[in-house]
Amino acid sequence: MNMRGFNTPLLCGAIAMCANVTAVHAQQHSVRISSEVERIENPLLAPVNPGGVTVLRVAPSYTYETQGDRFRSRFAASAVIEHSSNTTLLASRNYPSLGYTWGYNWPTSSLELRANFAESATRNTELRELGRVAVDLRERQFLTGATWNKDLTQRTRLTLGAQNRRVTYDSPLRENYHEQEISNRITWDATERTSYYFEPGYARMTPSGGGEDSSYGRWLVGVRGELGPSWMLAASVGQARIHGIQRDTGAIGGVQLTYSGSRLSSEAEWAQSVLPVGGIPAIGAALSYARTDMLRLRVGYQLTERTAISASLMRSRSRGIGGATGSVFNLALENQLAANWSLVLGVDERRSKSNLLGTSGTGWAVRAAVVYQFPGL
């Protein structure tokens, strides 16, 4: 398969041609608007605290979904509009997002096509995925993909997937890149509540500046099942082999356990995967794949019919010269003010430590948001 031939124009053309294959029987619109004020201390988690900044944030989103005899589609548009009180520490920016998904079902198979564009801040994405916060840049992602599912038997399914992703930044402090990924999965339903799968995959990443390509191959064996009426377990184990500037072979996989009760809910997840790391020319960290670790814990409790409280901890670690270890602790309170209105209060503590320099930084944030949500018609 020629992965470079999997491109956006062909996919968007296929979506456009197939959009009116069958009559629409159901459609739904939904709107969500969040208005938020946030005070952030040491937003870039510098070793020496340079001070804080107040951010006013408005985040509107709109979703339109349709459902026919055999097809379904979903269009989503959103934006995050931020105004900073101190642009020296944190820039004032707007982050738009657009996405479209189209799916078609046959008696024993289905096809899904998707195209997405999204902008975000590296101070959030890199801390969440790689454990680092080095600079505050705008990150743009263009993604197209396709997934095909086929029932081989009553209990066995085959899934084939392909994805093309382009990531760019608004500064030379980060290296732009282009990534293609293919994967397939064979799933066996052992019982109504338990299924097993085997999933091999391959990905290749090309830096836009003409550096050396990086690639990796992987395989996973996993299980998903219900342990009881309120418990779910998902676990996988496998191996990844990385080629390029940084060569590595090691274990990947993860475990996720969730509980959903009448008032109490909880989730614990640990995962080891492969992500792009580096791409920092200033310190000589070339863009390459590396294994990363992620730990996430969350507990939520419904205090009353209208009020809920939650606490979460996320820890991520990436290897290599540009890697780091970071964590975010969050405590939030949500209160439903009316049918479509709610108030959200939250506080964060953030930490990050660089692998190369050994320096660490700590910051915190306090926020209050009013959310309007119209579920649809």
Q: pLDDT tens digit string along 46-59?
A: 999 999 999 999 99
Please state the φ and ψ torsions of residue 5, each to the nearest 5 degrees. Answer: -80, -10
Residue 221 to residue 223: CA distance in whole angstroms: 7
Contacts of 165 (CB under 8 A, 6+ apart): 141, 142, 143, 178, 179, 180, 181
133: helix, coil or strand?
A: coil
Are 318 and 130 within 8 A, CB to CB?
Answer: yes
Residue 253, classified by CB atoms within 10 Å of its CB into exposed (0-12), middle (13-18) or buried (19+), is middle
pLDDT at 111 over 80: yes
Token pair 């009353």: residue: 304
pLDDT, mean of residues 330-354:
95
pLDDT at 4 over 90: no
Residue 94 to residue 92: CA distance in whole angstroms: 7
Token pair 């605290």: residue: 49
- Of the candidates 144, 129, 175, 177, the residue with the CA atom closest to the CA atom of residue 12: 144
Are 354 and 321 within 8 A, CB to CB?
Answer: no
Over residues 345-366, the pLDDT tens digits come to 999 999 999 877 778 999 999 9
pLDDT, mean of residues 254-277:
95
- Element holding 91 (H helix, E strand): none
- Of the candidates 282, 185, 284, 190, the residue with the CA atom closest to the CA atom of residue 236: 185
Residue 140 to residue 8: CA distance in whole angstroms: 15
Residue 33 to residue 369: CA distance in whole angstroms: 10
pLDDT, mean of residues 227-247:
94
Domain ranges of the chain: 3-374
Q: What percent of the chain has a predicted confidence (pLDDT) above 90?
A: 74
Q: What's the pLDDT score for residue 20?
A: 47
Q: What's the pLDDT score for residue 282?
A: 64
- Element holding 339 (H helix, E strand): none
Predicted TM-score (pTM) of this structure? 0.87
Would you mind telling me the total number of residues written for the chain in this entry? 377
Which CATH class for the 3-374 domain?
mainly beta
Residue 352, classified by CB atoms within 10 Å of its CB into exposed (0-12), middle (13-18) or buried (19+), is buried
Q: What's the pLDDT score for residue 377?
A: 65
Strand partners, 349: 329, 364
Which of 20-29, 309-318, 323-332 shows the lowest per-residue confidence on average (mean pLDDT)?
A: 20-29
Largest CA distance in the chain: 61
- Of the candidates 137, 142, 132, the residue with the CA atom closest to the CA atom of residue 120: 137
- Of the candidates 342, 324, 322, the residue with the CA atom closest to the CA atom of residue 332: 342
Q: What's the pLDDT score for residue 79?
A: 97
CA dihedral 45, 48, 53, 57 (to 10 degrees): 0
pLDDT, mean of residues 281-310:
90
- Where b means 16+ CB within 10 Å and e means fewer, 43-77 reads bbbbeeeeebbebebebebebebbebeebbbbebe
